[in-house]
């Protein structure tokens, strides 16, 4: 019997069960970072709930997981007054500032007190209001007194429960942020589409929360850390530490990187520790928040008009450096977008030597008035990508002239276009050599067809020597022409041909991703391959059929349909087919994935150090296939740390937390 055929009474009971189950599984996955069921099982239960709600709309609950993403565009954001003002914090910039803060606190409170240290997340402050355990609204900080109602967008953040584990009425305040990996991916996508990029993860998070389309918000993988409990009856906690533990207990997500100390000297050690470790974190922080831990002492210390007297934010020094821009290099991506990079005098930044910095697009260059010979302030956006913040115009010589932008493609010489709706220059020539090389390099990359030995240098040589013009030509290569290439010997040629031949057997999702269909990333390619199982079936699918896949939206579906409608794509696929390149999905079916059980099933795994048996991406993919969730940082929720040679701070932290450490030999044993 299908879910929609259940009698009303049974359907009502089952809906309650599914909502409760899915809430628990979401909490384990998004909050605890410790999934207890495979994604496929979650998807199956979610689909069952959708079918029941479609059959009986009157059973739809406000806190149902299906209600997270509204279909309608928002018209704007209404203003909402905070019941208790969301005050800002005073800042400290030195050890002396912290000592002075400690002196002031000692004069304001009686008896002994301690300090609660928390990471200062660089995001967007928000207040979540729950009534009898149900989320009723989410409001931005605004001016501290009045904020904007962003409830529809906040509901799309999976780590925020729509219903608490206890029916409490309260406000929880926290910081919405964008993880560094999501920030990088978003900017790469925007740059590829010729759109303006976000300057840093904070701006990206703020822009996403204030987007009028909740589906856009849902696609950008925002997250949250709650840091305060407000407006709750019958004070359930006597310290800040207890308040955060209560938030944990009722299903809200807090940051585990926190400590309580008795002295300001210990607080300073915490500050110094995280100033060193900030680049290793998967999210951006810009300091440490120090609060008097005891809530009664907080009341005793009181407030100024703008800030509490019992808390202070230590701000890390900006990771910035000054250098001179010597030249600007223009590169062409596989979609034709031409992007500028500043070539600079070498400078130390966040522990690395930096010689190149992204300028993103010509609109930003015009806005910042960047010229050759300028002295520039450079930083790492989100502690990741070097970028030029601004130039020092006072140090500019009187002979300096505005930079003249290229009019022709640096690769093929075609006239460049600056489309009205884009911030980037674009080469419109479909036969541009740079675009062709980029498409080829993408095709052979690890996450695509994974053809060893075909790096950018070799791909460029193959193209320049007219041995390949498209990705299918790779499968028609023979040994003799390869031996004529620079630094390609007999063994290298054999290895290259062997790797190409091996890639013929890759599962469909790798080929789909490798073809470089616009908007189709590795995850979307896998969803498509699992659903349609063959290239031929996918080719025939309509936009409506593609959209039915959970996780595939209109933009991806229309892009796929447009791609397969091109005559040259039909010719390319026919050429690949004749070369006996596999066009079928050979991975595990959904039901097989759900049934599989390995040493790594439902385990959270971190990889560190130099590996000798695997490439890091290869090992990550194998672990994912075995049911693991691979993350970038060690926490109390990590199950295993796989440690290679020269493992550093992650290994030390794993030992400190008592996490099981395994080597590659153990991994090989489990794989075999």
Residues recognised as catalytic: 120
Report d(CA 344, CA 377) in Å as an integer: 11
Helix (H, G, I), strand (E, B) or coil at 54: helix
- Find all residues with CB under 8 Å of 515, minimum gap 6, and list them: 443, 471, 563, 572
Residue 463 tokens, joined: 């193209």
Write out the H or E segment, with its range, that includes residue 467.
Answer: none
Report d(CA 336, CA 322) in Å as an integer: 32
Write out the H or E segment, with its range, that includes residue 105.
Answer: helix 95-108
Cα torsion 638, 641, 642, 648: sign: positive
CB hemisphere CA count around 652 (13 angstroms):
4
Tell me the pairing of strands 91-92 and 311-315: parallel
Identify which of 626, 632, 635 has the alpha carbon closest to the alpha carbon of residue 603.
626
Q: Residues 171-207, buried b or exposed e (16+ Cβ, 10 A)?
A: bbbbbbbbbbebbbebbebbbbebbebbbbbbbbbbb
Write out the H or E segment, with its range, that includes residue 392.
Answer: none
Residue 639 tokens, joined: 């199950």
Residue identified by tokens 């997340």 is 121
Give backbone dihedrals phi and psi of 145, rounded to 5 degrees, phi first. Answer: -105, -40
Report d(CA 22, CA 12) in Å as an integer: 15
Angle at 387 between CA 383 and CA 393, to 5 degrees: 130
Is 424 within 8 Å of 339 (Cβ atoms)? Answer: yes
Residue identified by tokens 């791909």 is 459
Q: Give strand ranges (E) for 79-169.
A: 79-81, 91-92, 115-121, 124-131, 134-140, 146-148
């Amino acid at each position: 019997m299908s879910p929609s055929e259940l009698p009303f009474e049974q359907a009502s009971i089952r809906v309650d069960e599914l909502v409760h189950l899915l809430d628990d599984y979401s909490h384990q996955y998004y909050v605890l970072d410790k999934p207890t069921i495979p994604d496929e099982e979650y998807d199956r239960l979610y689909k069952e709930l959708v079918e029941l709600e479609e059959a009986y709309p009157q059973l739809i609950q406000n806190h149902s997981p299906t209600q997270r993403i509204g279909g309608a565009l928002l018209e704007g954001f209404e203003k909402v007054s905070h019941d208790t003002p969301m005050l800002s914090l005073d800042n400290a910039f030195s050890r002396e500032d912290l000592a002075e803060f400690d002196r002031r606190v000692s004069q304001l409170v009686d008896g002994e007190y301690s300090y609660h240290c928390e990471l200062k997340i660089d995001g967007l402050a928000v207040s979540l209001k729950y009534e009898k355990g149900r989320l009723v609204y989410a409001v931005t900080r605004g001016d501290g007194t009045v904020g904007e109602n962003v409830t529809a967008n906040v509901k799309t953040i999976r780590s925020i429960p729509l219903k608490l584990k206890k029916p409490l009425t309260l406000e929880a305040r926290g910081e919405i942020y964008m993880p560094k990996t999501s920030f990088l991916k978003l900017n790469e996508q925007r740059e590829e589409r010729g759109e303006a990029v976000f300057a840093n993860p904070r701006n990206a998070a703020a822009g996403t929360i204030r987007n009028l389309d909740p589906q856009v918000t849902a696609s950008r993988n925002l997250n949250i850390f709650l840091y305060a409990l407000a407006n709750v009856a019958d004070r359930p906690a006597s310290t800040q530490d207890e308040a955060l533990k209560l938030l944990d207990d009722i299903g809200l997500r807090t940051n585990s990187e926190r400590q309580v100390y008795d002295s300001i000297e210990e607080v300073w050690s915490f500050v110094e520790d995280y100033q060193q470790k900030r680049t290793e974190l998967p999210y951006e922080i810009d300091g440490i928040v120090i609060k008097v831990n005891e809530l009664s002492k907080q009341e005793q210390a009181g407030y100024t008009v703008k800030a509490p007297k019992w808390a202070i934010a230590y701000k890390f020094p900006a990771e910035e450096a000054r250098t001179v821009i010597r030249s600007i290099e223009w590169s062409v991506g596989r979609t034709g977008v031409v992007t500028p990079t500043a070539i600079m005098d070498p400078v130390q930044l966040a522990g690395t030597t930096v010689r190149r910095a992204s300028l993103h697009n010509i609109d930003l260059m015009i806005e910042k008035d960047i010229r050759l010979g300028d002295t520039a302030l450079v930083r790492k956006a989100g502690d990741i990508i070097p970028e030029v913040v601004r130039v020092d115009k006072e140090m500019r010589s009187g002979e300096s002239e505005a930079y003249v932008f290229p009019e022709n493609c640096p690769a093929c010489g075609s006239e460049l276009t600056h489309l009205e709706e884009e911030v980037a220059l674009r080469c419109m020539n479909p036969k541009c050599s740079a675009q062709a090389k980029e498409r080829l390099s993408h095709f052979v990359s690890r996450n695509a067809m994974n053809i060893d030995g075909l790096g950018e240098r070799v791909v460029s040589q193959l193209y320049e020597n007219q041995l390949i013009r498209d990705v299918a030509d790779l499968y028609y290569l023979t040994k003799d022409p390869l031996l004529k290439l620079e630094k390609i010997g007999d063994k290298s040629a054999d290895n290259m041909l062997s790797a190409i031949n091996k890639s013929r057997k890759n599962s469909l999702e790798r080929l789909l991703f490798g073809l470089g269909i616009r908007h189709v990333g590795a995850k979307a390619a896998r969803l498509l391959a699992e659903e349609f199982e063959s290239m031929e079936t996918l080719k025939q699918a309509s936009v409506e059929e593609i959209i039915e896949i959970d996780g595939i939206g209109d933009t991806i579906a229309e892009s796929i349909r447009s791609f397969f409608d091109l005559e040259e794509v039909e010719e390319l696929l026919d050429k690949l087919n004749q070369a006996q390149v596999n066009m079928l999905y050979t991975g595990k079916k959904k039901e097989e994935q759900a049934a599989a059980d390995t040493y790594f099933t439902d385990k959270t795994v971190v990889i560190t150090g130099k590996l000798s048996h695997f490439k890091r991406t290869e090992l990550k993919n194998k672990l994912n296939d075995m049911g693991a969730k691979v993350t970038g940082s060690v926490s109390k929720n990590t199950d295993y740390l796989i440690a290679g040679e020269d493992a550093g701070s992650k290994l030390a932290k794993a030992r400190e937390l008592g996490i099981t450490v395994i080597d590659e030999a153990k991994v090989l044993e489990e794989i075999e």
